[in-house]
Chain A
């Protein structure tokens, strides 16, 4: 900035704009807003209406008004707590696995960064089902499960059908969701700041805590949200790798909508779930962003 003061005549700091502020902003948020309005708000309105209705003669929805569905939504809450535990464990594991990796790719991979990043998602361009079935082979009695069982001499040892298999499957499926947000914040970080900090005598940990962490915190928060939330609704991985021995909120909802065909009850349960999660996120964000000075300054 010192280079601009002497030689150049003073210019106003607000540049001339070709659009008025408001118009540009509206234009930018319009598409996403329309999407939310038409494809989120309206369908959810349908869900809310359904949640007060009655079960149709052949299942499905029949018009009516009752609060019974909400009453039963608060019963049988065990799957909810099971899902919570799974979501927490999965998020923490993903975090532990993702952070060093994002750091390595962002800072050590050099020009091959993009390749490393794309290689992270290429496995997911195969079918989910056959990937998961591959895990059945790897962890099953013909694979690791049998190998360990023989090694410790326990013929009834099993990896599949336990929470461990589920966690492996979960981390496998959700890792990119954690790596990407951390990576995009880390990658923006100016390495020279880290070097300057070290020059000023700060230790590795101090540098990390005071320079790196604040910069990647938004990535960490976004990543944890992107993993935790969908994980709450997960049910297929536990069904296949967990042998259906873990009954989660997702299982419950699918059971109600598909097999029991009790749409109103499923809808009520979903509404309750959404509200609880929304409130939780708001609290989480408020808590996580407390210390930060988040003055949002528009970059365009």
Chain B
């Protein structure tokens, strides 16, 4: 396959949402691409990374073992991070600081991607080094100049990322972001009350009238559209006016039966049985499963498909401490560190090398580490903020909650 063909194929793939089959195919492609890149012309710097990529694992307690390249640069004494709250394990933060002599680790938080985006669009620049947006925001950040290309030679552990998460259409060249973790949006049930064998979004909508006033939905336009579009068999990123209109019908039918639109306390509502059915994420739900009082809680990935979201690490444009940023990125991808992150945050890692250090019980949990056959039905999230029809439908949905 010539370089040109490869290029074309990648560009074509970038236009379409990838399924799991796509992952595997792409990974085969990416392996050959990597090889070509390493051996082709203009690959002088990447050649030097080849040996270090072969020895990716580092022991946490050893001195700067990140990579030969890291030893050559001076890591600044400060790192500024702009992230979701509580999203990096504090022990890992401390270990990083000790290992690289980073005296000051500033951790500022945002509560939503939209807030982060508005902040950058409003003009905040040169403030932080690293951020962790959800993947579908990366293209917009890249095109508006908020982030800079990754300095991959200085982050050799980037090779530990499973190829399944590479060459996604939010970053076909994998130069702009590093996968952090990923998860799904699905259906949560209190099977104590909901005796039906719910398996699809379609059933979710059908059962809504029966459990009226006991349904909770996360307050997130992108996730809310997943349910009707998938129930109808369309892409969850659809911009087709007809398809969206059909989705609108389903949503307006659901709205009167919804108890609450809540992204933060839905797990509490499920726990107290105020809600017995929900369109939710896994946050807070997994603990309910483990608690004997609420052990009947079930989180399932609907068979008609759902979204997989991925959070990513990006380096911001004008990052004041680029070397510290690279050191951190490399550090966080070392398998033991990754494993600790996964176990603390309870979201699946994107690096199989870390799995060796993860509690087997967690590895076997289908809600976190989704089995491959289900993975095939997951669709990536696109940036749909520009589609006016979606915005209008969501506003209408929001205003009709619990009425009628």
Contacts and interface: CB of A to CB of B under 8 A. Distances in A.
Q: Do A and B bind each other?
A: yes
Interface of A: 55-60, 76, 78-79, 133, 136, 140-142, 156, 158, 160-161, 239-240, 243-245, 247, 251-252, 255-262
22 contacts: A57-B143, A58-B386, A59-B117, A76-B395, A78-B399, A136-B265, A136-B268, A142-B272, A160-B274, A239-B261, A239-B262, A243-B261, A244-B219, A244-B262, A245-B261, A247-B399, A247-B401, A255-B391, A255-B394, A258-B115, A261-B118, A262-B388
B342 to A, nearest CB: 27
B221 interface: yes
B320 interface: no
B394 A259 contact: yes
Contacts of B272: 140-142
Contacts of A161: 259-260, 402
B391 A243 contact: no
A245 B401 contact: yes
Interface in B99-139: 112, 114-115, 117-118, 121
A244 B395 contact: no
B385 interface: yes
A71 to B, nearest CB: 14
B45 interface: no
B391 A262 contact: yes
B186 interface: no
Given A141-B274, A262-B391, A244 B398 contact: yes
A60 B395 contact: no
A141 B276 CA distance: 14
B14 to A, nearest CB: 17
Query: Most B CB atoms within 10 A — which of A56, A76, A240, A247?
Result: A247
Given A239-B219, A258-B114, 8 more contacts: A58-B143, A58-B385, A79-B399, A243-B401, A245-B403, A258-B118, A259-B385, A260-B394
A247 B394 CA distance: 12
A79 B394 CA distance: 14
A60 B219 contact: no
Nearest to A76: B395
Nearest to B390: A260
Nearest to A245: B402
Interface residues of B, number: 33
Nearest to B274: A141
Contacts of A257: 118
Contacts of B265: 133, 136, 240
Given A57-B386, A58-B386, A140-B272, A244 B221 contact: no
Q: 7 closest A-B pairs (Cβ-Cβ)? A: A243-B260, A244-B261, A258-B114, A247-B399, A260-B391, A58-B140, A245-B402
Nearest to B275: A243
A244 B224 CA distance: 14
B359 interface: no
Given A136-B265, A244-B262, A245-B260, A258 B395 contact: no
Interface in B210-236: 213, 219, 221
Nearest to A156: B213
A60 B121 contact: yes
Contacts of B296: none
B404 to A, nearest CB: 12
Contacts of B213: 156
Interface in B363-394: 383, 385-386, 388, 391, 394
Contacts of B398: 244, 247, 251, 255
Contacts of B402: 161, 243, 245
B144 interface: yes
A78 B396 CA distance: 11
A244 B114 CA distance: 19
